[in-house]
Structure formats: C-alpha cells, structure tokens
Amino acid sequence: MEMQVSDIDQVTKVALSGRLDSAGASQIEMRFTAVIVPKGQPAIVDLSEVSFLASLGVRLIISTARALLGKGRKLALYGANPTVMEIIETTALHEIVLVAGSEGEAIGMVKA
C-alpha cells in the first residue's frame, strides 16, 4: 500500500494505491492517521488506485474520520472503483464517511 499526501486549499489530500486489506492497512495506519488528524483541517482520500478494501481498511477510515470529526472537521472519500464502492456500500461506510464522485465534489463536501 502506497500513500501520497498533499494539501489543496487548506484540505489534506491522501492518495492511496494498492490493496487496503489487513496488510495494507497495517502498513499505512500510523502515518495515515498522523497526516490527517493532528492538522485539524478537512481531508479527502483518493481511492482511485485502491484495488481492494477489507474490514481493517474500513476500520482505519472510520477511526480517522471520527477523530477528525472530534476536531470539527470532515473526511470524504472519492474515486472508488465499482468493486471498492460495493464494499463501501455493503459495510455502510458511506453512512459514516462522506463519499463523493470527484476530487472537486469531495473538497466541496468537506468544506461545507
């Protein structure tokens, strides 16, 4: 699992690449949380290069979103392929975390 971090107009952007399964989630867990939560600014996560999302990946996203929400900020996901989107819907992740169709939409959602 690879992770690239950037800032777009006071929004933290994290682009993930690979399988967000137990091995992938373990590989990025500490860094993922550390680049998002302490900044205390809205965050978006690009899933366009994520080929698989497992329960530990879902847990990582939920725990990070809740920690960010505790600071009064939002987290949004975008770019999920149909397989990953099915997992997001099946696990009801979309009921806990904002899900957008594009980067622009995600930025708008977290800044609203």
Tens digits of residue pLDDT in 49-90: 999 999 999 999 999 999 999 999 999 999 999 999 999 999
Phi-psi region at 18: left, alpha or beta (left = phi > 0; alpha = psi -120 to 50): left
Identify whether the C-beta of residue 31 lies closer than 8 Å to the C-beta of residue 60: no
pLDDT for 19: 97
| Burial of 10: CB neighbours in 10 Å, binned 0-12, 13-18, 19+ | exposed
Rounded-to-integer distance, Cα 38 and Cα 23, Å: 24
When comparing pLDDT for 52 and 96, which is higher?
Answer: 52
Rounded-to-integer distance, Cα 18 and Cα 2, Å: 6
Please name each of the domains of the chain with its CATH number. Answer: 2-111 (3.30.750.24)
